[in-house]
Amino acid sequence: MASSKPSKPSNKSSKHAEDSDSPASDSEESSSDYRPGGYHAVHLGERFNGRYVILRKLGWGHFSTVWLVHDEETSLQAALKVVKSAEHYTAAARDEVLILQHVRDLDGSDAHHCCRMLDSFDHRGPHGVHVCMVFEVLGDNLLSLIRHYDHDGIPLGIVKKLSREILEGLAFLHDECGVIHTDLKPENVMLKRHLKRRQEVANERAVASYERDPVAWTKQAPSKLKILVSSGKRLTKNQRKKLKKKEKRQREEGAEGGILEGLEEMRLGLGLEDDGLEEEDDAPVEEKLMGMECKIVDFGNACWEEKHFTEEIQTRQYRSPEVRALLIVG
C-alpha cells in the first residue's frame, strides 16, 4: 500500500504542518513509534483475525505499517495495513474503513481503478487496539515510475493511459460515491504489478518459504530487538547494532530455516542483490506499462463531499488554492 502517508485529518500537527519538501521518504518508520498508541510490533508468522499470516513487510506510513500476508481461508496473498492504536488514528481509520466499504459496494466489478478493501477488523496488541484493513496486493507506485525514468518524464503514451485511468477513478469517486480523495499524488496511485521482476521475486520467495513449512512459519519467535524496542526500552545505538547483527547471523546460520525477517529484509534492499536475478526482466518496461492497470490507493485522508473531516487537506505540492491553507476563497 501507499508508503509515506501525509497527515491524518484529525492530526494537524503531523505532516502538513511540516510540509516536508519531498513528499516521499525512503527511510524506515521510527522505532520509537513502536509504543502504546503507536505501531503494533508485527512479527513474521503472526496470525491476524485467525486467518492472515504475516509473510513480509511491504511498507509503512506515518499512521500504519503494511504487510504481505497469506490468507489461510482463500490461500491467496493480500496486503494488511495495521494502523497505529492512538485514539485519533483509530477514529480516522474507522472513517477510512467506511469510505472504502462504500467504494467497494458501489464498485462491484472492480472496474473503477480504486483500490479494493477485502476485509477489515480490529487487532488487539500490547500497544492497544489497531484497526486493520486487508487489500489486494499491488505493485509500484507512480513515484517509483517517475524515478524509473530519472525524473525526465514518462513517455506520453503511458502518461495518457495512466491519467485516463486515474480520471476514471476520480469520476467514479466523485460522482458515484460522493467521496473526495484529498491526497492525490504519485505515491497514491499504484500500478497493479511491479516494474522489476526482482521486487515480485521478494514476495514470491516469502510465499514459497511459508508454503514449504506453514507450521514452522507461524511459530517464529518475534525478533528480540523488536520486543525490546516495543516494550519501550531505550537502547543505545551500539546495543541496537549488536542485536541486529546477532539476529542476522542467526538467520544466516539457518537457525530459522532460511526465513527472512521483514524489517531486515527491507533494509537490505530486499536482500536480493547477489541473486543473479538481475535482468531476467523480460519485456521492455514501456510494453509492460501499457498493459498494466493503475489504481488510486490510500483513502486515509479521504472524506465525504457532505462531510469534511478537516479543512487542512492535500500534500503541499498538490494543494489547490481554495484550500484553507491558501485562503483565496472563504
Partner 1 sequence: MHCLLWDSWAIRYLVGRRSSGGRHRKHGRQRHGWLCDVWRPFDDDRDYFFVPNTHDTEYLQVILGAKYCANADIWSMACLVFELVTGDFLFDPKSGHRFSRDDDHLAQMIELLGDIPSSVWRSGKNSKEFFNREGALRRIDRLKYWPLKDVLVDKYDLPREEVRLLSGISNDGSWQ
Catalytic residue annotation: 183
Q: Which of 166, 202, 225, 270 binds partner 1 (CB under 8 A)?
A: 166
Q: How far is the CB of 138 from partner 1 (least distance, A)?
A: 17
Q: Which of 2, 138, 170, 297 binds partner 1 (CB under 8 A)?
A: 170
Q: Which of 105, 175, 279, 280 binds partner 1 (CB under 8 A)?
A: 175
Say whether residue 5 binds partner 1 (CB under 8 A).
no
Is residue 130 within 8 A of residue 312, CB to CB? The reply is no
Maximum alpha-carbon separation in the chain: 64
Candidates 38-46, 221-229, 262-270, 316-324: pick the segment binding partner 1 (CB under 8 A): 316-324
Q: Which of 98, 289, 239 is nearest to 177 (CA)?
A: 98
Q: Which of 160, 212, 245, 246 binds partner 1 (CB under 8 A)?
A: 160
Is residue 78 within 8 A of residue 69, CB to CB? The reply is yes
Q: Which of 59, 139, 186, 300 binds partner 1 (CB under 8 A)?
A: 186
Residue number with CB closer to partner 1 (259 or 296):
296
Buried residues in 55-90 as b, exposed as e (16+ CB within 10 A): bbbbbbbbbbbbbbbbbeeeeebbbbbbbbbbeebb
Residues 187-226: x where in contact with partner 1 by CB under 8 A, - otherwise, as a string:
--x-------------------------------------
Say whether residue 300 binds partner 1 (CB under 8 A).
no
Residue 59's beta-bridge partner residues? 66
Who contacts 156 (Cβ-Cβ below 8 Å, separation ≥6)? none
Say whether residue 146 binds partner 1 (CB under 8 A).
yes
CB 171: neighbour CB atoms within 10 A? Answer: 12
Candidates 31-39, 73-81, 184-192, 241-249: pick the segment binding partner 1 (CB under 8 A): 184-192
> Cell numbers of 123, please?
487487532
DSSP-derived letter for residue 132 is E
Who contacts 44 (Cβ-Cβ below 8 Å, separation ≥6)? 54, 55, 56, 217, 220, 259, 260, 261, 262
Residue number with CB closer to partner 1 (276 or 330):
330
Instruction: Please give the Cα distance from 295 to 107 (Å, whole number).
Output: 13
Site for partner 1 in 104-143 (CB under 8 A): 142
Q: Which of 167, 208, 255, 268 binds partner 1 (CB under 8 A)?
A: 167
Q: How far is the CB of 88 from partner 1 (least distance, A)?
A: 21
Q: Which of 140, 183, 247, 256 binds partner 1 (CB under 8 A)?
A: 183
Q: Which of 75, 151, 215, 234 binds partner 1 (CB under 8 A)?
A: 151
Instruction: Please give the Cα distance from 70 to 77 (Å, whole number).
Output: 5
DSSP track, 34-92: -STTS-----TT-EETTTEEEEEEEEE-SSEEEEEEEETTTTEEEEEEEE--SHHHHHH
Say whether residue 182 binds partner 1 (CB under 8 A).
yes
Binding residues for partner 1, total number by CB under 8 A: 56
Residue number with CB closer to partner 1 (102 or 130):
102
Cα angle 66, 310, 13 (rounded to 5 degrees) comes to: 65
Which residues of this protein are in contact with partner 1, per CB under 8 A? 19, 21, 142, 145-146, 149-154, 156, 159-160, 162-164, 166-168, 170-171, 173-176, 178, 180-186, 189, 305-306, 308, 311, 313-314, 316-330
